[in-house]
Chain A
Amino acid sequence: MKKSLYLLAALVLLVTGNMLCWAAPSGVGRDQPLAAQPKADSIAELVARYDSSSCVGCHQQAHDEWAKSIHARSIFGTGRTAATFKTAIINGAMDWPASGVKSPKDVKVEHLQGCTKCHLPQLADATDKVAQEIVTTIWDWDAAMKKDDTDKAEKLEKTLSSLNINCLICHNRNAITHKWSEGYPKKDTVYGSKSGEHMDGKFTKMAKGQIMSESIMCGQCHGQGPNFDQENPTQCATGYASYLMAYVPEGGNKTCQQCHMQESKLGHNMQSYRSKEMAQKAVEMHVDTNSVYWRDNTTIRPKAAVRIELTNKAGHGIPDG
């Protein structure tokens, strides 16, 4: 009898032990980041969650640089980006039989993720109602533009431009790529070059971001090719793939940040070919010409022999796409 009780106790311990193992959570701290809070239910709520206006007081220069960059208007762009969202819905989602999108009213967050994974990563932290609000705003903006209703178009542009890649996207939400090894980004912490206390009411701590000056930081969006994690994979920017598979094998050893932020002296105004600084740095062109008088009795074919050397000094193919 006593022996049976011992056996039962051992079995109970074994089962409890197994249950404890089964109960051990994965992704410890996954529920802590700003991204894990209850989903934002409006554009205004989403903007408020990632509101970085309190950064400006101390980081005016970085803010002013950023404001000139396309990161500051990642949904609206020059207007062309907003228009491409519309095209992607009409020519893409609405055309695909299994997408479930028959009209713009059917668009959910998941349908926008082909674009917003990079153009607005924080949309993953919002409800489908926000996706609808974005779609409606883009449609209304487009209609206002076509009617030359400038006031309305500007108002809607302002709404769309309030959705962007701001300080908190890079310095908090997307600051850690390897969350199991380094932990999840904390909602009270900004990640940069220092650690310690941070003079801010909401983000009271600073932590050294392990990838802040590494190319992988930019590679999260400036991409590798089709995103196979999506049900309808798409590829847009492929700069990081070119960096990894072409630039580095050729002996390149600079990071994205070294060229686009430091050597260019553009800081947070990260630019590409439209900036004089980047265009000059990226491509060298040498042309040699030689005039040649080709002749054969009465036939002459004088010509200029032109030799063009183009050297791409950038960390990726030009153009990337």
Chain B
Amino acid sequence: MPIPQQLGKGDRMGRGPYEKSGMLEDTSLPPLRTIITTHDIFFPVKVEEKDGKKISTITSETLDLEVKLWYLPFGTMDDDPFLWKEYKKTVKISTQGK
């Protein structure tokens, strides 16, 4: 999201269009480029103590993933959010093996 600079000076964002005169930061998607991000989403585990050791076990072998690309024209989900793209997949982890 481009963050306009208030009246072209300082570190404050200009909120109304009448205040926009510079740019503090721009995290928008640049044209004709691919932006790659990676994320680790952990499966839920249960941790128990046995013989003085902490042992973790998985509580579910599947995980429902949802990736959503939202555009928030006014900066928050409360004000006219736009769902641009959506991806859903259930991933599975093995239950066999040591």
Contact = CB atoms under 8 A, between A and B. Distances in A.
Interface of A: 84, 87-88, 91-93, 114-115, 225-226, 232-236, 238, 242-243, 246-247, 250-252, 273-274, 279, 283, 285, 287, 289, 291, 293, 298-321
B30 A312 contact: yes
A92 B18 contact: yes
Given A287-B89, A309-B35, A226 B8 contact: yes
A299 B43 contact: no
A314 B57 CA distance: 46
Contact of B21 (A84, A234, A252, A304): A234
B29 A317 contact: yes
B57 A300 contact: yes
B39 A306 contact: yes
Contacts, number: 170
Nearest to A81: B17
Contacts of A320: 2, 28
Question: Does more than half of chain A's interface fall in helix, strand or loop, or is it mixed?
Answer: mixed
Given A283-B69, A304-B41, A92 B34 contact: no
A72 B98 CA distance: 67
Nearest to A90: B16
B52 to A, nearest CB: 11
Contacts of A247: 31-32
Question: Does more than half of chain B's interface fall in helix, strand or loop, or is it mixed?
Answer: strand
Nearest to B97: A293
B21 A242 contact: no
B38 A307 contact: yes
Interface in B56-73: 56-58, 63, 65, 67, 69, 71, 73
Contacts of A289: 65, 89, 91
B92 interface: yes
Could you say which of A91, A232, A234 has the most chain B C-beta atoms within 10 Å of its C-beta?
A234
Given A233-B8, A285-B85, A318-B29, 17 more contacts: A88-B18, A92-B19, A115-B18, A226-B21, A234-B17, A234-B19, A234-B21, A236-B17, A247-B32, A252-B32, A291-B91, A307-B36, A310-B29, A312-B29, A312-B31, A312-B32, A317-B31
Given A247-B32, A252-B31, A319-B28, A303 B40 contact: yes
